[in-house]
Amino acid sequence: MAKSNKIIIQCCLCGAGTKKAQAPTVPYTAAELAEQVVAVAKAGASVVHIHVREDKVVNGEMQIGYKSMGLKPFTDAVEACREACKAAGVDVIINLTTSGGEYEDYKRLQHLSALKPEMCSFDPNTINWANSYIFENSPRFLNLLSQEVVKNDIKPEFEVFDTGHIDSVMYYVKKWNIPQPPHIQFIMGVGGSMPGTTENLAFLVGKLPAGATWSVSGIGKCHMPMMLAGLALGCDGLRVGLEDNVVYGYENGEKIIATNLMLVERAVELSKLAGREIATADEARELLGITRNCLRDEKTMPTTYKE
């Protein structure tokens, strides 16, 4: 069961691949991100997971809102979100992605030292994502990422897609003395990894390290089933957002395309129906073991890394 009756709602606003053609409100720019971060924070999200985009020429064609791991897009996004939250009087934990795929290691790490987010993603294994491309997370990169989260006092969100990934999490936690207990984010339903079924989620929960907190998200069609299963199993958090799912439901046989706000509001409503209280950002920090650092706005450039 959950450590607390409080539940952490996380919103993953855009991911690396969701396009406006799929969901017109998916945020591409820093301004769009900032506006939506404020909206979902007001609705009950205590954590926002941020990827960034940029306009880029790819194979001779200009791509609008193309995935990026650039330091400038991250800096623009984080500064815009921090300023917008301050102006609106809302508080939220910023969780920056490190999942850069084909990008060099340093590009996947440079924004952590520079921007000092309270959280970042930590994908502990390489997988064949949806049986279509390699989602690479080499031991070389993971050793560097481990050093970075310890050095900058960043809470890693360990994204677990399959059973063996839990063992990998604990390998890096123990090797680099990453503060325990870990926070595990189960990502269910990615092709080539654990299907999003209640049976599979219950099995994974039974393998959690002692004291770990955990959250769950289902990709696509298993988005709602995994929320309901997570609540039944006593999850510490629910992850929603256009990164994971663009369909809110159906009406007269037609898809209702989601917005981030709609997905957060539904997660809040379901959590309350399950008898849970929605955690504020400070309550989420307490549950996750995050020490609030008022100096996180101070920027320092990345240092060198050791293997």
pLDDT at 291: 84
Cβ neighbours of 301 (radius 10 Å)? 8
pLDDT at 166: 98
For 226, the enclosing helix (H) or strand (E) is helix 223-232
For 183, the enclosing helix (H) or strand (E) is strand 183-188
Please spell the DSSP secondary structure of 26-53, one letter per residue.
---SHHHHHHHHHHHHHHT--EEEE-EE
CATH class of 6-287: alpha beta
Amino acid sitting at position 44 = G
Q: Cβ(240)–Cβ(11) under 8 Å?
A: yes
pLDDT at 3: 79
pLDDT at 304: 44
Q: Give me the percent of the chain exceeding a pLDDT of 70.
A: 94
Instruction: Report how far apart the first and last C-alpha atoms of the chain are (Å, whole number).
Output: 38
Which residue ranges of the chain lie beneath pLDDT 70? 1, 293-307
Selection from 237, 261, 293, 281 nearest residue 93 by Cα = 281
CA distance 102 to 134: 9
146-191 per-position pLDDT tens digit: 999 999 999 999 999 999 999 999 999 999 999 999 999 999 999 9
pLDDT at 293: 60
Domain ranges of the chain: 6-287
